[in-house]
Amino acid sequence: MTSTAKLSTQPQDPAYAIALTQFNAIADKLGLDDGLREWLSLPQRELTTHFPVRMDDGSLKVFKGYRVQHSLARGPAKGGIRYHPRVNLEEVRALAMWMAWKCAVVDLPFGGAKGGVACNPKEMSMAELERMTRRFASEISIFIGPENDIPAPDVNTNAQVMAWIMDTYSMHKGYSVLGVVTGKPLAIGGSQGRDEATGRGTAIIASEVMRRQGGSIDGATVAIQGFGNAGTHAARILSDMGARVIAATDSQGGRYNPRGLNVKRAIAAKRETGQLGNYRDGDAISNDELLEMPCDILIPAALENQITGSNAPRVKAKVIVEAANGPTTPEADEMLNENGVTVVPDILANAGGVIVSYFEWIQGRQHYFWDLAEVQAKLERIMKNAYDEVVAMATTPKVSLREAALMLGVGRVTESIKLRGVYP
């Protein structure tokens, strides 16, 4: 029997609509009863805050921020904080739900959470960003902590933002609390390899898919949508593996060169000028063109809802590895499956970030830090194991990799809550 979450029968946000549709399909496959289905489809806790920030011109601006904990069944909630004008409660709920399934797919002892502030960081000074971050951190400090909920970077947040959150939280405690956030700078308890971890995990998966399909990542052509943390590191590591990155875009458009972009120079141009389009190599391309470009591997690494029913029939990539969260709608998923495109879902393909966040959390709690080789080796082992488990799950009965990953993730969270029972 199919039911939808009572909290929001008509989701307004496309990401939340995608997350609920995916969840309900998997709940059917797993045969969850109505009570479990409703419990698992709803966020355990959510916080909305309106908070004031003094802007540089002396005016007071009120921002709206959120922190949602989807599930704490398997351990402390874990998930990033996003700064973007489109951030809203439903989007954060969707991202928190995906975090719960993702942590379970790669078998980390974490629940799922997400947070965000509706703002346009590109129009704010560093001082305004710092004041907004510190006040937001203070507002959500009743929710977060090393034992209960650990934020990390997401779209438009970075190691500096994590440093401000860690400092704000620590000021209230009176001592340094390393485990309150991950993705911190190395100098204050960050982990080697965290910055590149999402992109590295995506690259490891892309390479495994090619190998399993009887090919090789060496010489494979790759197109990447989104040239931020996830996209640039994936591009660099895939190019080091021998792949040819023929196209990349950011929100303003991008570049295409069939002989392969010089990834290091493209990253430098993006860093120095803020726009990948300023890298003068090959031809200018739009995001629509990139998504429909002939290539072996397409990596969406920007935002949700990019591959939809309207462009999926024109996608020519053989393999899609989702570095972004929720880039493919369920309608597009069906079309891609029918067209024989292998789609490695977000909750597996971008799990590298939360895996190394887990390492950072462990290191911070032990005050004992590992070298880069150790982090990379442990990351690779977990990613490959999880990929093998998802592929095995997808074999009998035959389901897509997304269905298999969700069955694994939702199944593990279900097992945890069943074992723990219902309190009181």
CA nearest neighbour of 303 among 361, 227, 357, 363: 227
Which residue is catalytic, options 78, 114, 184, 270? 114
Tell the smallest beta-carbon distance from residue 53 to ligand NAD (Å).
21
User: What is the chain's alpha carbon radius of gyration, rounded to the nearest angstrom?
Assistant: 20
Total residues in contact with ligand NAD, by rule CB under 6 A: 24
367/60 Cα distance (integer angstroms)? 40
Confirm if 163 and 339 have CB atoms less than 8 A apart. no
- Measured between alpha carbons, how far is 114 from 45 in angstroms, rounded to an integer? 11
Under rule CB under 6 A, residue 193 binds ligand NAD: no
For the question of residue 114 being annotated catalytic, the response is yes
Least distance from ligand NAD to the Cβ atom of residue 145, Å: 21
Q: Mark 310-339 with x for binding to ligand NAD (rule: CB under 6 A) and - for no binding.
A: -------------xxx--------------
Quote the tokens at residue 346: 């977000």
Residue whose C-beta lies closest to ligand NAD:
228
- Alpha helices by DSSP H, listed for 216-262, are 229-240
107 near 386, Cβ under 8 Å? Answer: yes
Closer CB to ligand NAD, residue 27 or residue 154? 154
Is position 382 an interface residue for ligand NAD (rule: CB under 6 A)? no
Q: Which stretch binds ligand NAD (CB under 6 A): 47-55, 152-160, 213-221, 278-286?
A: 152-160
Answer positive or negative: Cα dihedral of 161, 165, 168, 171: negative
* Nearer to ligand NAD (CB atom), residue 3 or residue 21: 21
Q: In what order do the strands lie in the sheet with 342-344?
A: 283-285, 253-256, 244-250, 221-225, 297-300, 319-321, 342-344
Nearer CB in complex with ligand NAD: 250/403: 250
Here the tokens at position 375 are: 């982090």
DSSP state, residue 190:
P
Does position 156 bind ligand NAD by CB under 6 A? yes
Residue nearer to ligand NAD on the CB measure, 91 or 296:
91
Mapping DSSP to helix (H, G, I), strand (E, B) and coil, where does residue 274 land?
coil
Least spacing, CB of residue 27 vs ligand NAD, in Å: 24
Among 43, 121, 228, 409, binds ligand NAD (CB under 6 A): 228
Catalytic residue annotation: 114
* Site of interaction with ligand NAD (CB under 6 A): 153-156, 198, 225-231, 249-251, 287, 301-303, 323-325, 350, 353
